[in-house]
Chain A
Amino acid sequence: MAAFTRRGFIAVGAAAAGAGLRIGPAGAQGAYPSRPITMICPWGAGGGTDATARIVASLLEKELGQPVNVVNRTGGSGVVGHSAIATAPADGYTLGIITVEISMMHWQGLTDLTPASYTPLALMNEDPPGVQVPASAPYKNVKELADAIKAAPPGKMKASGTGQGGIWHLALVGWLQAMGLKPDHVAWVPSNGAAPAMQDLAAGGLDIVTCSVPEARAMIEAGKAKALAVMASERNPAFPNVPTLNEELGINYSTGAWRGFAGPKGLPQDIATKLTAALKKINESKEFRDFMAARGFGVKWADAQGFADFMAAGDKQMGEAMKAAGLAKA
């Protein structure tokens, strides 16, 4: 019986494929999705990217009427999962969540993958870096901090928030450059993420941490640290008292860690359109908004074209910052 069913399944599958070929894209639109979809997450189970992928997958399931299974493909600092998305068959049944690392790692010569290796579907989240200092620090606002940075000899002040060449490091580099300073004017102390950096800030080992404000929230609420600014074009609604760099310093510099959804390059246009429409609905849904607000993640929306432009601009900005910091491979 099992063999029969399987043969039957293959026959049906072949027939469907044949039908798809014959009728062309118009026919496929009605059919898609006709079977479960796999959503690849390049980062481990239990993390923020995993959580985002899972909530979107569960909402996408409702939109499309087919199961959407999240599969964590970890390893190689995210390269393994990102390349699994890029090299999957472009039939719309393998999608993935891609993260800011895709616009960074190719500059270091770690992978050939770039934002152009994907069919962008939608940008769903962006978290801008903040400027956090110890609660006991003498600076009342980011302007005083900026003056202190300029006055200090190069390398005197220390900042952290992630590893060498990570997104928060490049945020600092970009900010220093925008102030007309050398990228290493503030020394970068690599750390294993935002939490250890915030702890070291509270322990008195660091002067500045440039992680996102939500990542620093608990420490700020505990009275151990204060956020002076965000490197974004507008304030974060969850932290209305934290001004932007532009407001305080007149520096129009913004960047951020983002997460978006994409398929392999060459996804059929009709399938991509359908997915983008479904993702737009999800982005506007109460469930998604509540979830992101609870985790402290910023909601952002850009459709396929907007996401592509966003990634291209971000890619260029990252390249410049990495070259300036001497992190890019010549």
Chain B
Amino acid sequence: MDTLAEAIRLVAAPDVLIAILLSSIYGLVIGSLPGLSATMATALLVPVTFYLSPIAAVATIISASAMAIFSGDIPGALLRIPGTPASAAYTDEAYAMTRKGQAELALGAGLWFSAIGGIVGTISLIVMAPALAEMALQFSTFEYFWLAFLGLMCATLVARSSPVKAIASMLIGLLIACIGIENPAGTPRFTFGITDLLGGVEVIPALVGMFAVSEVMRAMVTPDPPPMPRRKFGSILKGQWELTKKYVAPQVRGNIVGIIIGVLPGAGADMAAWVSYAMSKRFSKEPEKFGTGHPEGLVEAGASNNASLASGWVPSLLFGIPGDTITAIAIGVLYMKGLNPGPTLFTERASSMYALYIIFILANILMIPLGILMIRAASHILRAPRAAVMPVILLCCAVGPFATGNNLFAVMSVAFFGVLGFVLERNGYPVAALVLGIVMGSMVEQNFVTSLIKSDGSLLPFFDRPVAAVLAAMTIACLVWPIGVWAHRRFFRRQASVAPAG
């Protein structure tokens, strides 16, 4: 109890509270700007943390990243442009709800279930950290290969277009993921002697181009959509309680999937959102409603990406292994501030650990009032003329990717992917599948090749390790299921057409 009191005292210090408030606002703003991701929000905070006390330093990272992941939903719902990669999975859905006049419900769901997901994730961190960390350590490259492969399959599961086009789009993404020297052989591929291509194509420029720039281009060539009825935004939290009661199972599933994916090093909020959205569609009683402005997927994926954020800290705090790109940066800050990751952090510095838990919960509660303010402010965008909004977005698209690396090449990539995204979208190819291909491509390749090196070329370990076997069975079932359904249907149709003739 003493440690808890001490922890509360640590958090209640004025500098910590101010740090939480300011970094929350900062995270909300960065996350809502297309092209500025939660990871980048964290990276840009690092120089600031030099001047803060240890608890305040970690508090800024926790609050800013949680807020950024939520507020990535805002431009997604209002403009069909995801603010962060973690929102990309359900952007179409949220935007469809806005077009139906349910912007409050879509954004409110994002906010409400993000906060719940964040709190559930935190509880998992408090209660099960050591057990979860042990689980994460069971994952070798064999398991990661199957996991990444499953992630790729989500591309076809969530697509509303034909699965063939989704797969084609995903394959282009995989091809793009091949560029650069960051491959298992350490050999430059498809770089054409261009230095900038050595590092490969980064996800952020590709995402910004694919979603934001192509949306701007689309706005330029299509007439203004019928203006939305001018009305004040209703209550943002109204209706969320009904959703909470209605979608208990999706929520629980979303939280669990988010926690598991978050705990696994290397797989973060982006993947959690994709997998959860795909699962939601698969298990839903009304899968046909998905993509038409149906909140079920939002509930599940919105909870999932925030839950993964908190549980991503488990391997970071226990073993110094980053759960995702955000905690990779956070680990550096932890070391710098003398909060060295390791089991001793939980025993010898328990009060600091409790303080971190309290900050997590505080940040997720604070998310609700601040989020409501942010949504209200952002809702004016819907009333602004498109001719005024689009140039600002284009500016953000150029500035955001430039800001982290000060490299003009990132801006050129954005332009390239904007055109590519526009062309693909016009022809009915889902761009989300392509982005997923880029995100997962290197993970699939890396884990496949390293696994083969470790097993001296034998494929057997992909199946004979217990966890790998389960994941393999799931993946193969996912692969074979649609073919089975197709063959079944085809067989019966032929029978049906043969029968009358005979």
| A residues adjacent to B (C-beta < 8 A) | 44-48, 50-51, 54-55, 58, 70-80, 83, 108, 110-111, 155, 158, 160, 163-166, 187-192, 195-196, 198-200, 202-206, 217-219, 221-224, 291, 294-296, 327
* Chain B contact residue count (CB 8 A cutoff): 59
Flag if B196 contacts A80 (CB, 8 Å): yes
Flag if B405 contacts A221 (CB, 8 Å): no
Instruction: Give the distance in Å from the alpha carbon of A97 to the alpha carbon of B50 in the complex.
Output: 19
Flag if B185 contacts A164 (CB, 8 Å): yes
Among A47, A77, A198, A206, which residue has the most Cβ atoms of chain B within 10 A?
Answer: A77
Task: Indicate with 1 or 0, residue by residue over B195-220, a CB within 8 angstroms of chain A CB atoms.
Answer: 11111000000000000000000000
Q: Is the interface of B mostly helix, strand, loop or mixed?
A: helix
Flag if B43 contacts A45 (CB, 8 Å): yes
Flag if A217 contacts B182 (CB, 8 Å): no
Set of chain A residues within 8 Å of B101, measured between Cβ atoms: none
Contacts A51-B46, A198-B319 given; does A190 touch B405 at CB 8 Å: no
The smallest beta-carbon distance between B194 and chain A, in angstroms, is: 8
Partner of A72, one of B182, B335, B344, B406: B406
Set of chain A residues within 8 Å of B50, measured between Cβ atoms: 54-55, 58
Contacts A75-B405, A80-B407 given; does A187 touch B140 at CB 8 Å: no
Instruction: Give the distance in Å from the alpha carbon of A155 to the alpha carbon of B43 in the complex.
Output: 39
Flag if A77 contacts B453 (CB, 8 Å): no
Closest A residue, CB atoms, query B341? A218
Closest B residue, CB atoms, query A216? B320
20 A-B contacts, Cβ less than 8 Å apart?
A45-B44, A54-B50, A70-B47, A74-B406, A75-B409, A76-B197, A77-B180, A80-B407, A158-B454, A166-B186, A195-B320, A198-B320, A199-B315, A202-B137, A205-B140, A206-B454, A218-B318, A219-B321, A221-B342, A294-B337
- B266: CB under 8 A from chain A? yes
Flag if A190 contacts B186 (CB, 8 Å): yes
- B322: CB under 8 A from chain A? yes
Closest B residue, CB atoms, query A40? B406
Instruction: Give the distance in Å from the alpha carbon of A257 to the alpha carbon of B276 in the complex.
Output: 41
Flag if A217 contacts B340 (CB, 8 Å): yes
- B265: CB under 8 A from chain A? yes
| B residues adjacent to A (C-beta < 8 A) | 40, 42-44, 46-47, 50, 136-142, 180-182, 184-188, 195-199, 265-266, 315, 318-322, 328-329, 332, 335-338, 340-344, 404-407, 409-410, 446, 449-450, 453-454, 456
Partner of A77, one of B43, B187, B198: B198
Flag if A76 contacts B453 (CB, 8 Å): no
Instruction: Give the distance in Å from the alpha carbon of A70 to the alpha carbon of B405 in the complex.
Output: 11
Flag if B140 contacts A75 (CB, 8 Å): no
Closest B residue, CB atoms, query A109? B188
The smallest beta-carbon distance between A106 and chain B, in angstroms, is: 13
Flag if B195 contacts A79 (CB, 8 Å): yes
Flag if B141 contacts A71 (CB, 8 Å): no
Set of chain A residues within 8 Å of B410, measured between Cβ atoms: 75
Flag if B337 contacts A48 (CB, 8 Å): no
Flag if A44 contacts B198 (CB, 8 Å): no
Which 7 A-B residue pairings sit nearest by Cβ, starting from the closest? A218-B320, A164-B186, A74-B405, A46-B329, A46-B43, A45-B43, A221-B342
Contacts A44-B404, A55-B50, A295-B335 given; does A80 touch B195 at CB 8 Å: yes
Set of chain B residues within 8 Å of A219, measured between Cβ atoms: 319-321
Set of chain B residues within 8 Å of A204, measured between Cβ atoms: 140
Set of chain A residues within 8 Å of B137, measured between Cβ atoms: 199, 202-203, 224
Closest B residue, CB atoms, query A82? B195
Set of chain B residues within 8 Å of A51, measured between Cβ atoms: 46, 332, 336
Contacts A189-B450, A222-B319 given; does A45 touch B185 at CB 8 Å: no
Among B188, B266, B407, which residue has the most Cβ atoms of chain A within 10 A?
Answer: B407
Contacts A76-B195, A77-B199, A196-B321 given; does A46 touch B186 at CB 8 Å: no
The smallest beta-carbon distance between B68 and chain A, in angstroms, is: 14
Closest B residue, CB atoms, query A296? B335
Flag if A196 contacts B332 (CB, 8 Å): no
Set of chain A residues within 8 Å of B322, measured between Cβ atoms: 195
Set of chain A residues within 8 Å of B404, measured between Cβ atoms: 44-45, 72, 74
Flag if A189 contacts B453 (CB, 8 Å): yes
Flag if A48 contacts B332 (CB, 8 Å): yes
Closest A residue, CB atoms, query B317? A218
Flag if A218 contacts B332 (CB, 8 Å): no
Instruction: Give the distance in Å from the alpha carbon of A262 to the alpha carbon of B102 in the complex.
Output: 57
Set of chain A residues within 8 Å of B42, measured between Cβ atoms: 46
Instruction: Give the distance in Å from the alpha carbon of A70 to the alpha carbon of B319 in the complex.
Output: 30
Set of chain B residues within 8 Å of A46, measured between Cβ atoms: 42-43, 46, 328-329, 332
Flag if A189 contacts B454 (CB, 8 Å): yes
Contacts A46-B42, A75-B199 given; does A165 touch B407 at CB 8 Å: no
The smallest beta-carbon distance between B69 and chain A, in angstroms, is: 17
Set of chain A residues within 8 Å of B336, measured between Cβ atoms: 51, 291, 294-295
Set of chain A residues within 8 Å of B140, measured between Cβ atoms: 200, 203-205
Set of chain A residues within 8 Å of B407, measured between Cβ atoms: 73-75, 80
Instruction: Give the distance in Å from the alpha carbon of A189 to the alpha carbon of B456 in the complex.
Output: 11
The smallest beta-carbon distance between A235 and chain B, in angstroms, is: 20
Flag if A222 contacts B198 (CB, 8 Å): no
Closest A residue, CB atoms, query B180? A77
Set of chain A residues within 8 Å of B141, measured between Cβ atoms: 200, 205
Closest B residue, CB atoms, query A205? B140
Set of chain A residues within 8 Å of B46, measured between Cβ atoms: 45-46, 50-51, 54
Flag if A164 contacts B184 (CB, 8 Å): yes
Q: Can you name 16 extra interface pairs (CB under 8 A) apart from A190-B446, A195-B321, A205-B454?
A: A46-B328, A46-B332, A58-B50, A75-B199, A75-B407, A77-B181, A80-B405, A80-B409, A165-B186, A190-B185, A190-B449, A199-B137, A204-B140, A218-B319, A221-B342, A222-B343
The smallest beta-carbon distance between A185 and chain B, in angstroms, is: 14
The smallest beta-carbon distance between A110 and chain B, in angstroms, is: 6
Among B142, B187, B318, B453, which residue has the most Cβ atoms of chain A within 10 A?
Answer: B453
Contacts A76-B199, A83-B195, A110-B188 given; does A217 touch B47 at CB 8 Å: no
Flag if A203 contacts B139 (CB, 8 Å): yes
Set of chain B residues within 8 Å of A205, measured between Cβ atoms: 140-142, 454
The smallest beta-carbon distance between B178 and chain A, in angstroms, is: 15
Closest A residue, CB atoms, query B407? A75
Among B44, B47, B343, which residue has the most Cβ atoms of chain A within 10 A?
Answer: B47
Closest A residue, CB atoms, query B45? A46
Among A83, A165, A188, A205, which residue has the most Cβ atoms of chain B within 10 A?
Answer: A205
Set of chain B residues within 8 Å of A195, measured between Cβ atoms: 265, 320-322, 328
The smallest beta-carbon distance between A297 and chain B, in angstroms, is: 9
Flag if B198 contacts A110 (CB, 8 Å): yes
Instruction: Give the distance in Å from the alpha carbon of A313 to the alpha carbon of B460 in the complex.
Output: 45
Instruction: Give the distance in Å from the alpha carbon of A186 to the alpha carbon of B47 in the complex.
Output: 40
Instruction: Give the distance in Å from the alpha carbon of A288 to the alpha carbon of B329 in the complex.
Output: 20
Flag if A71 contacts B406 (CB, 8 Å): yes
The smallest beta-carbon distance between A7 and chain B, in angstroms, is: 28
Instruction: Give the distance in Å from the alpha carbon of A74 to the alpha carbon of B95 in the complex.
Output: 34
Flag if A192 contacts B446 (CB, 8 Å): yes
Set of chain A residues within 8 Å of B136, measured between Cβ atoms: 199
Set of chain B residues within 8 Å of A108, measured between Cβ atoms: 186
The smallest beta-carbon distance between B455 and chain A, in angstroms, is: 9
Instruction: Give the distance in Å from the alpha carbon of A166 to the alpha carbon of B183 in the complex.
Output: 12
The smallest beta-carbon distance between A323 and chain B, in angstroms, is: 15
Flag if A218 contacts B265 (CB, 8 Å): no
Flag if A221 contacts B196 (CB, 8 Å): no
Closest A residue, CB atoms, query B409? A75
